[in-house]
Amino acid sequence: MPPVMSAAISTSRLPSDPTVTIPEARPAAPAPLGPSCRTLRAGVVGLGHQAREDHLPAIVASEMVDLVAVCDLNTQILDDVRDEYDKPGYTELEEMLATEQLDFIVVAVPHHAGRRVVKAAAQRGVHVLKEKPFATSLEEAHDLTGSCADGGIELMVTLQRRLNPIYATFPHLYDQIGRPFLIDGVYTMSVDPASGWRGQSRLAGGGCIIDMGYHMIDMLLWYFGLPDRVLAQSSAAARPELDYDAEDTACVMFSFDSGLWGRLLLSRCVSPRTETIRVIGARGSVVLERGRIQRLLSNGQVVESLSREGSWPSAATAQVDHFCRVLMGQRPNTSGPESHLAHAAFIHACYASAQAGRFVNPKELIA
């Protein structure tokens, strides 16, 4: 989980504020940019760790996009980034959108601010590359899906694993282990569960499930689809000396009508850092780790193994380039709003199950 990002925009000046006038007329849906020799124009909204370590260097490294402007509420951070990249800086999102001719913005704001940023961009017909999660609730996910459709914009959620060949290899090996019956997913790390806004459920939308767990949930849905039943338990008691209410640890059981079932163990308070998905079938198993995938026979013998070195530093640039190709009509957007309604339903089912103490069917939530 990345360190806390700074608040990115002045929430008192966003479109939902009654003092801000937003034209009622919707912009015409942006036409596909199409193959072009010109580079696209991007702005970055939210200049916390994720933006400074990943998105800004990625844009600079890309040959397909130019960094045009940056935006953050924190004036000190804004001044530092503006000076480093020699680009205009804004504390007001609306001012940046009105002043700069942007093809898209990268949105790396705290979870609770994302909705307003996306809706403001959609009003202007500006495409969005957004840090996960797509939304903090199922209601918000539906709202943003409608806003993106009304504005005619592409929105892609940043899930770097989908662009990593290690993770894309999974289905090819999975097909060779016979009928699968068990999925075991573990994603743990040891960080401060009370750090900044991430420790407060009302700001983050939850804890380890919606935040770091979003990556594991995405892979589960990518590989197997939405389960038919979810049963979750969670706790925010690992560090009683700290002040936070967002869950630090969760165990999520899930099953499919096909007979396949499994669990996800997520925690912000367990070391060493572990990221593993293991799928067991009648003729063997597939084990997917960060940077490595293996296929094993039932006796544990490794028969195939693939690893990739140096993939993570380049992931952000690959992601930016892919989104540019989406906007040019050269690639499909496989991480758009419609697909993330399933993510929101799964997460909602986790929290509803933990509260009610019973199984919840996430498919019924988006039926």
Strands 89-90 and 65-71: parallel
Is residue 279 within 8 Å of 285, Cβ to Cβ?
A: yes
Pick the CATH number of 11-159 from 3.40.50.720, 3.40.50.880, 3.40.50.150, 3.30.230.10: 3.40.50.720
pLDDT at residue number 218: 98
Q: Which residues of the chain fall below pLDDT 50?
A: 1-29
pLDDT at residue number 20: 32
pLDDT at residue number 21: 34
pLDDT at residue number 23: 36
pLDDT at residue number 32: 57
pLDDT at residue number 14: 34
Is residue 201 within 8 Å of 259, Cβ to Cβ?
A: no
pLDDT at residue number 281: 98
Q: State residue 14 phi and psi, 5-degree precision.
A: -90, 165
Q: In the chain, where are the structural domains located? A: 11-159, 165-307+336-365
pLDDT at residue number 343: 98
Q: Is 249 strand, coil or helix?
A: strand
Strands 249-255 and 127-131: unpaired
What is the Cα–Cα distance from 209 to 211, expressed in whole angstroms?
Answer: 6
What is the Cα–Cα distance from 263 to 255, expressed in whole angstroms?
Answer: 9
Tens-digit pLDDT profile for residues 11-61: 333 333 333 333 333 444 455 566 555 799 999 999 999 999 999 999 999
Question: According to CATH, what is the number of the domain 165-307+336-365?
Answer: 3.30.360.10
Q: Is 16 strand, coil or helix?
A: coil
Helices (H), ranges, the chain: 49-50, 56-61, 75-85, 93-99, 111-124, 138-151, 165-168, 170-174, 201-204, 213-224, 311-327, 337-356, 362-365
